Amino acid sequence: MSAQFSVDNTHRTQLGPIATPDRLLLGPGPSNAHPTVLQALARTPIGHLDPLYVELMGEVQELLRYVWQTDNRLTIPMSGTGSAAMEATLANTIEPGDKVLVAVKGYFGLRLADMAGRYRAEVVTIERPWGEAFSLAEIEAALEHHRPAVLAMVHAETSTGILQPMEGIGELCRRYDCLLLLDTVTSLGAVPVRLDEWMVDLAYSCSQKGLSCPPGLGPFTMGPRAEAKLAARPDKVPNWYLDVSLLNQYWGSDRVYHHTAPVNMNFGMREALRLLADEGLESVWQRHRSNAERLWAGLERLGLTLHAPDHLRLPTLTTVRIPEGVDGKAFSLHLLNTFGIEVGGGLGALAGKVWRIGLMGYNSRAENVDRLLNLFESELPAFRPSASQAAVAASV
């Protein structure tokens, strides 16, 4: 006799198979994944302790060291987005009462400060306007005054398009006995990043920008000085899932079960990193720089103003000031709905003031630059106020 089951069908919905349009993602992220990466994601999963997967884990770790230019033993892709890796750097190194100095020059510096406070750090900040970077003298003055345990800062600020110069900051952190924590979310795999040369102790990134992979993994790396601080803490890391002392038993030589890893995401990460290594870091960095310069020159030819000064401009993310009288959001929606191209709007202090254009990883190609410039040239005039509208606005 078959069992009888009673089911509440209130929320039962009949749907067809998923169908999403093709988009060219030229915003702040995610960017389009490389087709080879997408093929890897579609492979049949294998177990997260399968010997073949364990071998792949080692390949991913070694290639992440190459992309970051580091010898850090503890280098892993966190099972989570870049924000999970961001939180991991803080959760593992902050003890209650530790002073954490956050250098804020945009939206993601504010996020670092918020996260650090949640781990009961004594958070102090220094700030620059959203379009500027910190000088070495400003960093040194803050370190001398506050004497923090950790200095946290963003290398490539996605909200402003600013690339923070790093020369000399690591040396200062050693002199003042604090750890240097660096956000490389919008720089890894696209802009020169040299962690060991810069004396960076902790860094994190994401999978969906310069690495040409979908969102879902957060590369994380911890140097010897940060490992020593973790080992010396008297209590447990207050976040079980992000506790690197536990994760290292899985990603280290023991391969002890911690969680069910997203194996297919790591298939994709492995292929993304392989493709990057085949191209070579120097070539990758040059490609991003050349395509960014092509975009910058084209936007300026069209009479548009770039928000970031040339010497601090980020090749992966360009902030363009929205012209007076133009509804920036309406224009972005027009590009998306009519042409399938995504560009981003401003965040925080720059909301409604800039567009954010991303050229990251697989999307950093000359044909994408030219296509977007052609659309700005042909479509933007319709969104500018007419001469009569401008005259009325001026007389009000």
Question: Residues 299-304: what's their mean pLDDT?
Answer: 98
Q: State the CATH number of the domain containing residue 114.
A: 3.40.640.10
Which two tokens mark 299?
């936007």
% of the chain with per-residue pLDDT over 90: 93
Say whether both 325 and 265 belong to one domain. Answer: no
Ranges of beta strands (E only) in 105-229 are 122-127, 150-154, 156-157, 162-163, 179-183, 202-204, 217-222
Per-residue model confidence as pLDDT tens digits over 166-185: 999 999 999 999 999 999 99
Per-residue model confidence as pLDDT tens digits over 88-124: 999 999 999 999 999 999 999 999 999 999 999 999 9
Top pLDDT among 190 and 48 is at 190
Say whether both 295 and 361 belong to one domain. Answer: yes
Say whether both 248 and 333 belong to one domain. Answer: no
Q: How big is the chain, counted in residues?
A: 396
Q: With beta carbons less than 8 A apart as the criterion, state whether 186 and 364 touch.
A: no
Q: How confident is the model at residue 389 (pLDDT cuts 50, 70, 90)?
A: low
Is 266 a domain residue?
yes
Say whether both 95 and 173 belong to one domain. Answer: yes
Structural domains of the chain, count? 2
Q: How confident is the model at residue 255 (pLDDT cuts 50, 70, 90)?
A: confident
Say whether both 238 and 330 belong to one domain. Answer: no
pLDDT (0 to 100) of residue 2: 72
Say whether both 187 and 317 belong to one domain. Answer: no
- Looking at the predicted structure, is the pLDDT value of residue 237 above 70? yes
Looking at 39-53, 165-179, 186-200, which range is the least confident one? Answer: 39-53
Strand partners, 220: 76, 204
Q: How far apart are CA 57 and CA 35, in angstroms?
A: 21
Is 357 a domain residue?
yes
Is 60 a domain residue?
yes
pLDDT (0 to 100) of residue 388: 44
Instruction: Kindly report the backbone phi and psi dihedral angles of residue 277, in degrees, each rounded to the nearest multiple of 5, phi listed first.
Output: -65, -35
Is 354 a domain residue?
yes
DSSP category for residue 214: -
Say whether both 116 and 252 belong to one domain. Answer: yes
Top pLDDT among 290 and 49 is at 290
Per-residue model confidence as pLDDT tens digits over 114-171: 999 999 999 999 999 999 999 999 999 999 999 999 999 999 999 999 999 999 999 9
- Looking at the predicted structure, is the pLDDT value of residue 394 above 60? no
| pTM for this entry | 0.94
pLDDT (0 to 100) of residue 127: 97
Top pLDDT among 179 and 256 is at 179
Q: With beta carbons less than 8 A apart as the criterion, state whether 119 and 91 touch.
A: yes
Is 217 a domain residue?
yes
- Looking at the predicted structure, is the pLDDT value of residue 71 above 60? yes
Say whether both 268 and 286 belong to one domain. Answer: no
Which two tokens mark 146?
């506050």
Question: Residues 232-239: what's their mean pLDDT?
Answer: 95
Domain boundary among 278, 312, 330: 278
pLDDT (0 to 100) of residue 1: 66
Closest to 96 (Cα-Cα) out of 73, 114, 122, 70 = 122
Q: How confident is the model at residue 392 (pLDDT cuts 50, 70, 90)?
A: very low
User: What is the extent of the structural domain holding 348?
Assistant: 280-386
Is 139 a domain residue?
yes
Q: How confident is the model at residue 387 (pLDDT cuts 50, 70, 90)?
A: very low
- Looking at the predicted structure, is the pLDDT value of residue 219 above 70? yes
- Looking at the predicted structure, is the pLDDT value of residue 254 above 90? no
Q: State the CATH number of the domain containing residue 353.
A: 3.90.1150.10
Q: How far apart are CA 81 and CA 105, in angstroms?
A: 22
Secondary structure class of 74 (helix, strand, coil): strand
Domain boundary among 278, 301, 330: 278
Say whether both 269 and 288 belong to one domain. Answer: no
Say whether both 151 and 192 belong to one domain. Answer: yes
Say whether both 284 and 326 belong to one domain. Answer: yes
Is 14 a domain residue?
no
Instruction: Kindly report the backbone phi and psi dihedral angles of residue 320, in degrees, each rounded to the nearest multiple of 5, phi listed first.
Output: -115, 125
Say whether both 360 and 285 belong to one domain. Answer: yes
Per-residue model confidence as pLDDT tens digits over 354-363: 999 999 999 9
Is 25 a domain residue?
no
Whole-number average pLDDT of the chain: 95
**Which residue, chain included where needed, has tokens 């070495």?**
136
Domain boundary among 231, 256, 278: 278
